[in-house]
């Protein structure tokens, strides 16, 4: 069963029906998901943030025609990207859907993520990567076809593993070299050619922390639209080796007692935080049983 995390479809299932290009029946008015970087434009001053209605306010200049992505509360929802230099009129504000700012509710953050992911694909699928010609849409989906060479192109969604590694009552945490001192998270990385997701877990833990893991099991997955990842969450147990960060990508790595963790990932919306919240505390009875064996 899919886990209920922001950016997964279940969060908006009662509010949103996805549609593909070409499914638009008419130009009836609806709502707009205006994306500015990783922020969503909402009507300001409302207790409950609201998506702007169409038509687009004339002071907001779109990069392109708004694109239909589905039905929001039964009305067409279109999305458009605006550049960071667009200054919004006072009746609108841009609220982030990435990072620690949680003013957007999870449903709107999820819609914003979906819109941003689609817009990212649209911007990067204008030309054929095989021959350089302009691409045309394949009817009924987000794929594109090259009229010149016939190559088909489908949305690029990149699989990444993320893993909570346990040794008794301790968890393996790493600090990415780009993060501030004191902030830690879980080992994670992109799937490589020729490996299963479990093999990717083994390799990433070995590369980033220098240890071996066993008993790798799937925990859940999350769409991560920054810009287009699929985070696949795993649990694993320590099997051997001494912690040794790679010193390049990972500045620090170490074992932390589960009841004395350092600063955890900034976004409460992330699967990293979910893994800590759900699996961060060991089952006391299980541990006692293990100790008695």
Q: How far is the CB of 154 from Zn ion (least distance, A)?
A: 14
Q: How far is the CB of 130 from Zn ion (least distance, A)?
A: 4
| Longest pairwise C-alpha distance within the chain | 71
Cα 201 to Cα 275: distance, rounded to the nearest angstrom: 15
Q: Which two tokens stand for residue 216?
A: 């790798």
* # of chain residues touching Zn ion (CB under 5 A): 8
Sign, Cα dihedral of 76, 81, 82, 88? positive
Beta-carbon contacts of 31 under 8 Å, excluding residues fewer than 6 positions away, are: 51, 52, 53, 54, 72, 73, 75, 76, 77, 78
**Residue 160 φ/ψ, nearest 5 degrees:** -130, 140
Q: Which stretch binds Zn ion (CB under 5 A): 30-38, 130-138, 237-245, 269-277?
A: 130-138
Site string for Zn ion, 178-217 (x = CB under 5 A): ----------------------------------------
Site string for Zn ion, 87-126 (x = CB under 5 A): ----------------------------------------
Q: Which of residues 20-59 bind Zn ion (CB under 5 A)?
A: none
Contact with Zn ion (CB under 5 A) among 50, 131, 139, 287: 131
Site string for Zn ion, 132-151 (x = CB under 5 A): -x------------x-xx-x
**Secondary structure (3-state) at 215:** strand
Q: Is 130 a binder of Zn ion (CB under 5 A)? A: yes
Q: How far is CA 82 from CA 35, 85, 138, 198, 291, in A?
A: 6, 8, 25, 39, 58
Binding site for Zn ion (CB under 5 A): 128, 130-131, 133, 146, 148-149, 151
């Amino acid at each position: 069963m899919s886990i209920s995390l922001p950016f997964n479809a279940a969060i908006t299932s009662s509010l949103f029906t996805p549609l593909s290009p070409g499914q638009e029946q008419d130009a009836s008015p609806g709502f707009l998901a205006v994306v500015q970087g990783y922020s969503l434009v909402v009507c300001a001053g409302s207790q409950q943030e609201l998506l702007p209605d169409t038509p687009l306010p004339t002071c907001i200049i779109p990069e392109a025609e708004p694109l239909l992505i589905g039905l929001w509360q039964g009305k067409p929802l279109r999305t458009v990207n605006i550049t960071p230099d667009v200054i919004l009129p006072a009746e609108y504000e841009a609220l982030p859907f990435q990072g620690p700012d949680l003013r957007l509710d999870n449903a709107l953050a999820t819609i914003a993520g979906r819109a941003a992911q689609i817009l990212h694909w649209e911007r990067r699928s204008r030309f054929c990567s095989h021959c350089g010609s302009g691409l045309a849409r394949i009817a009924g989906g987000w794929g594109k076809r090259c009229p010149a060479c016939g190559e088909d192109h489908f949305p690029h969604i990149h699989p990444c593993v993320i893993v909570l590694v346990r040794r008794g009552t301790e968890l393996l945490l790493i600090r990415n070299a780009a993060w501030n001192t004191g902030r830690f998270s879980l080992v994670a990385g992109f799937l490589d050619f020729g490996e299963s997701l479990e093999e990717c877990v083994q390799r990433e833990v070995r590369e980033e922390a220098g240890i071996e893991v066993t008993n790798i099991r799937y925990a859940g997955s999350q769409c991560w639209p920054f810009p287009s990842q699929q985070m696949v969450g795993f649990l694993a147990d320590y099997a051997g080796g001494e912690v040794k960060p790679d010193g390049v990508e990972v500045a620090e790595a170490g074992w932390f007692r589960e009841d004395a963790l350092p600063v955890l990932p900034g976004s409460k919306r992330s699967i990293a935080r979910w893994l800590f919240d759900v699996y961060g505390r060991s089952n006391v009875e299980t541990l006692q049983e293990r100790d008695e064996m």
